[in-house]
Amino acid sequence: MTTVLAVSGSLRTASSNTNLLRAAALLAPPGVTIALYEGLGTLPPFNPDLDAEGSPPQAPVTEWRSLLRAAGAVLISTPEYAHGVPGVLKNALDWVVGSGEFVGKPVGLVNAFPKSTHAQASLVETLTVMMAVLKPGARVAIPLSSKRLTPNELAAAPEIAAPLRAALDALVRA
């Protein structure tokens, strides 16, 4: 059984990015579990002094790192804020730069809004520096309409399900 840790860069309850990841969980290939990480908002602001030798990190940081280590792959979907990655997602990534959980880890990127190119480019740059393995076939922009769809509705829509399944297949083949 392969576990893919799904991370949404949005804290909004009805986030299109989070719903896209929930739809991915419904479309997961056999033998693959997609677990949505819901602790993004609980991570404290990154401070290297809180992560120094002899100073164990806070519980949310320990949990974040543990979930990343246990995952066979990571799937990220994020909005773009002011031409960049949302601060909460960047903060989460900052907590694992030095501890190395992304080194060699297969990562897929799904984007609910194809015009959000700046955030995606920034995320690719950050993950590349962290030595994650970005899978080209697992990077897809899925244009969602302005109306809010549930994860079940997203998974049932062929124009959404097909590219999402293809991205998942490319990610888990890694």
CA distances to 40, 82, 85, 101 from 69, rounded to whole Å, are 16, 31, 23, 6
CA distance readout (Å), 132 to 19, 79, 145, 149, 165: 24, 20, 31, 31, 21
pLDDT band at 171 (very low <50, low <70, confident <90, very high): very high
Angle formed by the axes of helices 16-26 and 158-173, to 10°?
70
Q: Give the per-residue pLDDT at 146.
A: 64
Q: What is the pLDDT of residues 82-133, one digit of tens each?
A: 888 999 999 999 999 999 999 999 999 998 887 778 898 999 999 999 999 9
pLDDT at 47: 92
Q: Give pLDDT, residue 147.
A: 66
pLDDT at position 166 over 70? yes
Name the residue with higher pLDDT: 51 or 63. 63
- Determine the pLDDT at residue 81: 86
Q: Which of 67, 31, 36, 70 is nearest to 173 (CA)?
A: 31
Exposed/middle/buried for 118, CB within 10 Å: 0-12, 13-18, 19+? middle
C-alpha span between 122 and 132 (Å, rounded): 14
pLDDT for res 144: 82
Residue 145: pLDDT above 70?
no
Mean pLDDT of the chain: 92
* Domains assigned to the chain: 2-173 (3.40.50.360)
Tokens at residue 62, please? 């320990």
Mean pLDDT value of segment 36-42 = 96
